[in-house]
Amino acid sequence: MMKTSRRRFFIGLGGVVLALPILDSLDWAENRRSGRRWGVARADDGVPHPVIWVRAGNGVQQQWSTEPEHFWPAATGPLTTAILGGSANADRSTGELAAHASKLAIVKGINRPFGTPACGHSESIVQVLTAARNTGGTANTPLALGMSADWRIANQLNPAGRDPMTLMAGPTSAYIAEGLSWRESGMRTSAERSPANQYMRMMGISGAPPEIQRRIVARRMSVNDLVRAQLGDLISSPVLSSTDRSRLQQHLDAVRDTELSTMSCAADPALTTEITSITDPTANDVRPDVVRTHMDVVSLAFACGYTRAATLQIGEGNDQTQYTIGGTTLPRFHWISHRIYSDGADGAPIPDAVTLHQQVDRLMMQMFKHLLDRLDAIDSPIAGHTLLDESLAIWTNDLSAGPPHGGNDMPWIIAGSAGGAIRTGQFVDVNGITTNKLLNTILTAVGCTKPDGSPVDDFGDSSLTPGLIPELMT
């Protein structure tokens, strides 16, 4: 086994691994002994349907008590660019997504499955992708008592059992930090804050020295360069036939071409410039830049089949970011969601807090649109389809509205159809279905099954009513 592994891979500086093609000259003796022929492994004939969840916090500016509706479209039913971008929705934050209306399923009526007696933020975020009970408490003490949907997908569909991509745009430590992704019951997944680190991990160069990492990200050298001495020895080996020498050179050229291709696992110049320009991805002032760059990296990961599942958490559990909108730096978003200058129940009122909350919602939609634009600009293997058509990009919030920190009518926006599995171009109100049924629908749409091959209808806590959402299924 070790002999075969050394033939197929070269390990370079810092543990960088470069896969090589099967070379008949080197495998001849072992093939003869084993009586088998080496061939190209058959790839999955199906087109992958990856999914990314983008999570925001603190609720949205939807109707509550005497506060006006500024989030949901004006009427349920079909969605077109003309409808979502029309005058009836001019004051609705979701209107920012009008350009992609035909590829959206905006879903109202999704309810949080369990209450939050100790803290609306800390006990809500752990339920978003698990639909599971939790141990309860404040800060980071609540632990989800179940796996999250991204891990369910990764375990069943990811290549070589690869973990889901878990990202966050926010500080390294916080009162409530990451809480979206759960490997299993009680096991929280740490989120990567740096887009550059995630990109280098995806490219297999995270173990290289910092200067080499920087040069590769800046597109001034290839992964081939890290194992150049070993490659030279192999190409010049008298054991290698002319056919295998040609095959190896073609493979190395292909690796280099892949690295330089915008539509593969390599960043284009604009993205590499952005990655290298973010010196502190945890800083408040670069939060939207980090969100968009994370989205760019995820788009590349989906395009090259690196992962089938990703999560991106925006801000802490109670997002304390001070967003700058129209040249004005707003108070902390968590304070805005409380309508007072406080993280608690007492404090001076924030003037026009409702308008400020909607401004943040619009910024969230603009950032989500950036992801949709990126995915929709990448062609899929299906003629006439884009990567967005074959994927699911989902935006959600772990609270419904700001002041009450409620759990009914949680915001869910699904973009893409997973190859036609999700019915898009509609705004639907499902009238109080708990999150588990939506997660079942998503898991089934992207290709997950139960052990017997049937659709997933039992994800989440066993006390919840199983099933899917027919209104979303084609």
Tens digit of pLDDT for each residue in 328-362? Answer: 999 999 999 999 999 999 999 999 999 999 999 99
135 residue type, one letter: T
Mean of per-residue pLDDT scores for the chain? 85
φ, ψ of residue 239 to 5 degrees: the values are: -70, -25
9 domain residue, yes or no = no
What gap in Å lies between CA 286 and CA 272, rounded to an integer?
16
CB 448 within 8 A of CB 100: no
Q: Mind listing the pLDDT tens digit for each residue in 165-202?
A: 999 999 999 999 999 999 999 999 999 999 989 988 88
User: Is the residue at 97 inside a domain?
Assistant: yes
Q: Is residue 16 part of a domain?
A: no
Give me 296's structure tokens.
């760019």
pLDDT for 143 equals 98
Q: Identify the weakest region by mean pLDDT among 78-82, 257-261, 346-350, 440-444.
A: 257-261
- The answer to the question of residue 166 being in a domain is yes
What confidence tens digit (pLDDT) does each residue in 93-120 have?
999 999 999 999 999 999 999 999 999 9
Q: Which of 69-78, 99-108, 378-387 has the lowest mean pLDDT?
A: 378-387
> What domain count does the chain have?
1
Whether residue 113 contacts residue 464, with contact meaning beta carbons closer than 8 Å, is answered with yes
Asked if the structure places residue 275 within a domain, the reply is: no
| Residue recorded with tokens 């017997």 | 452
User: What's the burial of 277, exposed, middle or buried (CB within 10 Å: 0-12/13-18/19+)?
Assistant: exposed
Q: What is the CATH number of the domain that holds 106?
A: 3.40.720.10
* Domain-located, residue 361: yes
| pTM of the predicted structure, to 2 decimals | 0.82
Q: Coil, strand, or helix at residue 343?
A: coil
Type and span of the H or E element at 212:
helix 210-217
Residue type, 169: A
High-pLDDT (> 70) share of the chain, %: 80
Residue 305 and residue 385: Cα distance in Å, rounded?
A: 16
What does the DSSP assignment read for 348-373? PBPTTHHHHHHHHHHHHHHHHHHHHH
Does residue 226 lie in a domain region?
Answer: no
Phi, psi of 279 (to 5 degrees): -80, -30
What pLDDT score was predicted for residue 304?
83
Does residue 466 surpass a pLDDT of 60? yes
Give the C-alpha separation, 382 to 384, whole Å: 6
What does the radius of gyration of the chain's CA atoms come to, in whole angstroms? 24
- Domain region containing 346: 50-210+280-472
Asked, for residue 177, whether it belongs to a domain, the answer is yes
